[in-house]
Amino acid sequence: MAGDERDDSSPEWIEDESLSFVEDDSLFFVEDEEEKAPSDLGLTPWAILVVDDDREVHSLTRMLLSEIRYKGRALTMHSAHSAVEAREILATLPDVAVILLDVVMETDDAGLRLVRAIREDMGNRHVRIILRTGQPGQAPEREVIEAYDINDYKAKTELTAQKLHTTLISALRGYDDIMALVHSRRGLRQILESSASLFQQRSMEKFAAGVLIQLNALLGISGDGILCAQVMRDDTGEPGPVTILAASGAFEEMSGRPLEALEHLEVLRLIQEALEKHETQVVPSATALYMPTRDGRETVIYLGADAPLRPSDRELVQVFCDNISIGFDNVCRLEVLRAENDRLRAALDSR
């Protein structure tokens, strides 16, 4: 093209000195079903940190991020205008999922130095880092990708709104997968450690109370809305009465009482369904875990939650329950032996 002539087929650009977005792509996103979930479910937003010394970049990015959802969660943006400021924010916000990082700020390699600081000094291997630069020649892509632990490299001129959306969703998916693995490993370690302490208990009440405490810690919840119930079948196979062995939070006063005394009808129904169907029951706000034991007892652990348990959490809880079901058997046997000893002692004393 010569002079000021312009090809009508070329996209029109909204430009400033450091960032360009295609006009007809800057405000519209093609979202799949996963991202269309409502954002007012009380779910914690994904934390995104934008590190750039250009305030226009922050303003435009904030506008574009407001349109993005992933797994029903919105994005909340934190701004840093220098590498130093970014480090301060990361020190207080450990759950930042994605960093959009400029290369050239207070120095020509401030962004690259920050990458090294995040990965090596701060030991943060989980956050996804996307480099954005207005001067690609200052930090050649191939060299940067090979030398620095980053997850993507974009020239600001190529980051259209749609490409920013795609890049962020990909980064969030990666972060979510990594955190699920981290959570699972931490949970499995905790299961092994807690099992040892639980198996030292010698009474059913203390064992059941310990199970609730360990589940609280495993899932990172406050303890409200968790209780444990158990039923014993007779010689004919008919179920006996259901007793609440341990309770915490909103149900704390129910410990030791029959299940029928529970006034929370939805909780009662979910526990009864688990016992009747002999399987775990899951609803959006709660889970009733079914655990049979070898001696004929059936245990149900009810977990109430503000949000549905993630699949990885459900798997951890199932592993936990499979692991401690042996503990229930052992405690049951001890109680039977203790009762028999008491009977024999009473018989001897009566002679």
Closest CA to 330 of 305, 294, 300: 294
The mean pLDDT of 87-113, rounded to a whole number, is 92
Q: Which residue has the higher pLDDT, 185 or 93?
A: 93
- Give 112-167 as a DSSP string: HHHHHIIIIIS---SSEEEEEES-GGGS-HHHHHHHS--SEEEEGGG--HHHHHHH
Structure tokens, 21:
């977005």
Return the CATH fold of 199-350.
Answer: Beta-Lactamase (3.30.450)
Q: Which of 23-37, 94-108, 252-266 has the lowest mean pLDDT?
A: 23-37
The mean pLDDT of 19-39, rounded to a whole number, is 37
Each residue of 269-279: pLDDT tens digit? 999 999 889 88
> Count of H helices and E strands in the chain?
8, 12
Q: How confident is the model at residue 297 (pLDDT cuts 50, 70, 90)?
A: confident
Architecture of the domain made up of 13-179: 3-Layer(aba) Sandwich (3.40)
pLDDT given at position 97: 95
Residues 6+ apart with CB under 8 A from 43: 72, 73, 307
What is the CA angle 224-226-229, rounded to 5?
A: 155
Q: Is residue 298's pLDDT more than 60?
A: yes
Residues of the chain within CATH 3.30.450.40 domain(s) are 199-350
The mean pLDDT of 307-317, rounded to a whole number, is 73
Residues of the chain within CATH 3.40.50.2300 domain(s) are 13-179
Strongest mean pLDDT among 6-15, 89-98, 155-164, 284-293? 89-98
